[in-house]
Structures are given as C-alpha cells and as structure tokens.
Amino acid sequence: MKRKTLIAMILTSCALAGGAQAETLSQFFAKSQIDGQIRSYYFSRLYGTPNTVNAYAYSLAGRINILTAPFLTGFRVGVSFYTANAMGTLASNPNRVDKTLMGDQNSINTLGQAYLEYQDRWLTAKVGNQIINTPWLNRVGGRVIPVTYQGVTLAVHPLAGLTLDALRVFRWKDRTNGQFTRTNLYYYGPSYGDYLYGGPNVLPQGYSQKHPSNGALAFGAKYHWHSAKTQAWFYQFDQFANLFYWEGSYRLPVLASAQPFVAAQFTRCYVFRYFRISEASYPAVRWRDYGKQFLDKLGQLGG
C-alpha cells in the first residue's frame, strides 16, 4: 500500500512539474517580442550628362526580429534575419544597375543580428552581431539592409540623464554583403559593386589579406538635462586613426508650435603614421590622399 501511495505521489509530482513547465514556457513565449517588416524599394540615379548612363535598382525586402523574454534575471537573446530580392529586375547592362541597394546580386539573405543581452537598472551589455548607433559607427540608413557589427557593447547609467558607453567591434557586415568581414571602406570589396566601398583611394586587393582590420575601440559619454543635450566620443580605428567627436545642442522653449534650437559639433582626427609604411609595397596608391578623405569613410572603419 505504501509502495502504491509513493508511486502515485511521484506521478502526481511529475504531472504538476510538467504542467508548471508548460505554463512557464507559454509565459516565456508570450512575453517574447516578434516583429517584422516588408519593403518595396526602387532606387534610381538620373544623370544630366550623356557620358554617364542612368542607373536603377529594385528590391523586395523584409526583416524579422525576435527578442526573447528575460531569463536568469536580466538575460535576453535577440535575432534579426534580413532578406532582399531583385525579383529578376536587374538590368542586362551592369552599368545601369545601381549597386548601392544590394550590389549586383539578385538576392541577399543574412542573419544580421544574433546577440546575447544583459540588462538591469544600471547597465545594458550586448555580445554578438548587432546594430550599433553612435556618431561614427552606425547602421548607415537609407537602404534595405542595415550595416551590423560583431563585437561587445556596454552602456552604464550611473546618474539620471548620464550614459557611459564602451564598445569593441571586430568585424562588420556591409549593406550589400551577407557575411561579416575584417575590412572597412578602404579595403577592396567584398562589396558586390557598392560605391560605398573604395573609390579612387581603395587599397590594393591583396592588402586586406596581409593587413586585415582588427576593428575599433570606442568610449563615449552622453548627458541630457531638460532641453540641453551633449555627447563626446573617442574612437580608435585599428591601423588607421584615432578620432575625437563632440556635439551639443539646446532647444529654445520659445513657442509651443515652433521649437528652434542651437547646436555645435567638433571633430578631430589623427591618422596613424605607420598606416603609410606600406608605400614601398604599394607605390601606385596615393597615400597622401587618405588623410584628406579620411572622414568620408570613418563611419564604417570599425570592422
């Protein structure tokens, strides 16, 4: 009799545990966030000269974001999948294809974000592939697939209105590339023709293999008080440059219907001297021009 009672108690406990686990999983999925977007995007370049042909591109694109409910007191997992498809609309003449939308490819499918996040009252930390939003490392909007980075980000909130940031990125994924690479906009590809890469001072094709980018390190501080905002950042772009950036703004509470503001920005860039050591190995490269055009490409030097 005691044996039957013990077996019944064990079975009842298992049933209750199974029910509780099912209820917990149900609550977990109910509190998770899933959202998406579908975009139909047509982009064209019309030139007023017979020497340059007009270019265009079409993309039917979409994304799906998944962010789990918190577990283990503050941890969450985030995933974002992006897709873009030309739907057979690429022009037969390659010069007539605008390659800033999705390169010269018919489709792009990529897991742009896949990260582990920890968040509490004081800080937010992310590890993995993620979107970064800072003045000189950001998602580079205006196209169907955002730029994402592979690394670690940390934001601390010690006081009301104050945020201290730190990040270290190792690789990045361009808007026309489905893979993360140790390059930046100075390197030769893999851009699939995207004009964002290179330009007249693109590094030689073999440079990225001998001197791959180790990404970027950055520290920042942001503060807002009523209508005043300010932020300052220091970036170290491996092998390329150090950069300091500051901005401040104040919104004038003059009228309810109109809110004028004043703002100021300051940027200082220091190009590394040893970046030019390879001049003997690559004599055809106009190394002096890199310093002149450096700020045009710093936004994606981080990985």
What pLDDT shows up at residue 26? 82
CA distances to 19, 61, 62, 189 from 85, rounded to whole Å, are 44, 6, 9, 21
Question: What contacts 278, CB < 8 A, 6 or more positions away?
Answer: 207, 211, 285
Whether pTM exceeds 0.85: no
Domain 36-300 sits in CATH at 2.40.160.10
Q: How far apart are the first and last CA of the chain?
A: 70
CA distances to 107, 230, 232, 270 from 220, rounded to whole Å, are 37, 11, 6, 18
What pLDDT shows up at residue 201? 58
What are the helix (H) ranges across the chain? 2-31, 207-210, 288-292
Strand 75-85 to strand 107-119: parallel, antiparallel, or no bridges (unpaired)? antiparallel
Rounded to 5 degrees, what are φ and ψ at 175? Answer: -70, -20
Q: Where do the structural domains in the chain lie, given as residue ranges?
A: 36-300
Q: Which residues of the chain have pLDDT under 50?
A: 2, 5-22, 276-280, 283-284, 287-288, 291-292, 302-303
What pLDDT shows up at residue 205? 72
CA distances to 32, 101, 126, 231 from 38, rounded to whole Å, are 21, 15, 26, 34
Q: What is the pLDDT of residues 233-251, one digit of tens each?
A: 999 998 888 999 999 999 9
What pLDDT shows up at residue 154? 98
The answer to whether the CB of 28 falls within 8 A of the CB of 69 is yes
